[in-house]
Homo-oligomer: A and B are copies of this chain.
Amino acid sequence: MGINLTNFLSSKSKSKRMMEFQDLDHIDGVSISTICANLYNNSRDDLVMFYFRDGANHASVYTQSKIISENIKWNLNQKVKKIFSLIVNTRNANCFTGKQGYKSLEKIAELASQKLTEKQKEDDDLPKKIKLKEILFGCTGTIGEIFPEEKISNKLNELVEKIKYTQNKYIWMKAALGIMTTDTQPKMAMEKCFIGNSEIKIFGVAKGSGMIQPNMATTLGYIFTDADIPNDILKKLLKKNIYNTFNAISCDSDTSTNDMVSIFSTGKSKHPKIETINDDKIKDFDIALNKVLLNLAKRVVADGEGASKFITIDTQNCKNEDDAKKIGFSIANSPLVKTAIAGEDPNWGRIIMAIGKADIPINYEKLSIKFGDISVVHNGKLNSNYNEDEVSEYMKSDSIEINVDICSGSKCFKVYTMDLTKKYIEINADYRS
C-alpha cells in the first residue's frame, strides 16, 4: 500500500523523489480549509483549518525544549475528550510573544468557536456549541515577533465558509502547502490497514525544514484517521511510534520551540471497540501508523534546508537501543561528516571521530563500517579490498547509507539526516530578510 519508500528514497533524482506523493482522498469526519491571510505578504496560503464536524479523539506529543511557544502552552491547557478544530498558521512561531501571543490565540479561538457553532447550526440536525478549549493551534515561523492576531481573525469567517465536507487530493495538497515555511515541497503520506474487518485510513501531513532535531516530538506533523481509538491508546501509540520515526531524524541538531505531532481519530469507521494497546486487532494499525510517521519524517529530512543527499545511519549490534541512537545522532549531527558527504568524499575517518565522541565505550577492534554494501572498515581495520574509487562512485548517489556495526550487543537504531551544504548557509544567513 502506498509508495515504495525504498524506491522513493533511492530514487536518483531529488525532484522526482520529492514529488512522488500518494493521493490522499476523503477521510470521514475531517474537513480542511485553507486561505491566504497575507502573513508572508504574498499570495500563498498560510492559514489552514482542520475541522472535525463530530469531534475527534486526539493525542499530541510536544517539543521538550525548556522554552515553548504560546500555542503549545494553549494546547497543553486544553484537557478535553474531543477536539473540533486544529488551526495552523505559518510565518510566525508565536514563541516569546508573552501574553500578547497567548491572548491572541484566545481571541482567535473565541471567534472560531462562534463561527463553527454557527456552521453547526446551519448544517447539523443536532448542532453542537463548539467550545474554545476544543480548538488546538499549530504555529511555525519566526520566534519573537508580535503574533499577527488581526490578520488571522480577519480571515476566519472566510476560512470557515470555505469548509467542504468532502475532501480530495487537491485540498490535502493545499493543506500540506499551507503549513510550509522554508520547505520546498509539501509532505504527505497515507496508509490503509484493517481493524477487524473494517478498512481504516491513516493520512498525514508535515512540515520541515530547519531547526530539526525533534525531542519526543518534532516540527509540525498531523495525522488523521477514521479509526475509533480512545485518547489514552492514541497517546500510547503516538509516543511508541514517534521514537523511531520523527525522533530518529535530524537536519541540523537544533530543536524547535514549536515541535508538535498530533493524531486525530474521527471514529467514523465502525470497527470493533479497542480497549487496550495490547489488543491484537490494533497491530495492523500500529504498523501502518509507524509507516505514515516514518514516511513523513523521511520527507522532512529529504527536504531539509539545503539538502543535496538523504543519509541513513544504521547503527547495529549495540548493548541497547539508546547507545545505538546516541552513536547514530553523533554521526548525523557532525558537521564534518555532513560536509564530507556534501563533497561526495568517503571520509570514513570522520565517522570514526563521530563514533568516538558519542561517549559510548567502543572496542574498536570489533568495529565495522559499510557505505551502502561496500565494506570499508572490518573488525577495526581498513578492508584489505578497499577501493576508494568504488566508494567515491557510491558517494555520488542521492541517498547514502552508512552502516556501523559496534559488535557489542544486538540492538540497532536507524537515524535519518541530510548533508550540510552551502545552500543551508545561504538559506539561514538570510532567513528573515
Contacts and interface: CB of A to CB of B under 8 A. Distances in A.
Interface stretch (A168-176, A189-197, A227-235, A329-337): A329-337
A259 B49 CA distance: 53
A121 B153 CA distance: 91
A243 interface: no
A250 to B, nearest CB: 11
A355 B65 CA distance: 8
Given A67-B362, A356-B68, A362-B66, A210 B336 contact: yes
A345 B96 contact: no
Contacts of A431: 340, 343, 345, 347
Contacts of A426: 422
A358 interface: yes
Nearest to A347: B432
Given A357-B215, A361-B66, A343 B429 contact: yes
Contact of A349 (B65, B95, B342, B357): B95
Contacts of A64: 359
Contacts of A67: 352-353, 355-356, 362, 364
Interface in A392-433: 420-422, 424-426, 428-433
Interface string A345-384: 1011110111111111110100000000000010011100
A255 interface: yes
Contacts of A114: none
Contacts of A257: 352-353, 356
Nearest to A381: B98
Contacts of A364: 67, 96
Given A66-B356, A360-B66, A421-B425, A252 B349 contact: no
A210 B380 CA distance: 24
Given A254-B354, A354-B254, A356-B257, A335 B144 contact: no
Contacts of A254: 334-336, 350, 353-354, 357
B428 A65 contact: no
Contacts of A348: 144
B336 A428 contact: yes
B349 A253 contact: no
A328 B170 CA distance: 46
A432 B348 CA distance: 11
A28 to B, nearest CB: 38
A360 B98 CA distance: 20
Interface string A61-95: 00111111000000000000000000000000101
Interface string A201-225: 0000000001100010000000000
A343 B428 contact: yes
A144 B352 contact: yes
A377 to B, nearest CB: 8
Nearest to A346: B432
A216 to B, nearest CB: 12
Contacts of A343: 428-431, 433
A353 B211 contact: yes
A344 to B, nearest CB: 8
A65 B357 contact: yes
A253 B333 contact: yes
10 contacts: A66-B356, A66-B361, A68-B356, A96-B364, A211-B336, A252-B335, A252-B336, A255-B353, A342-B429, A345-B431
Interface of A: 63-68, 93, 95-96, 98, 142-145, 210-211, 215, 252-257, 333-336, 339-340, 342-343, 345, 347-350, 352-362, 364, 377, 380-382, 420-422, 424-426, 428-433
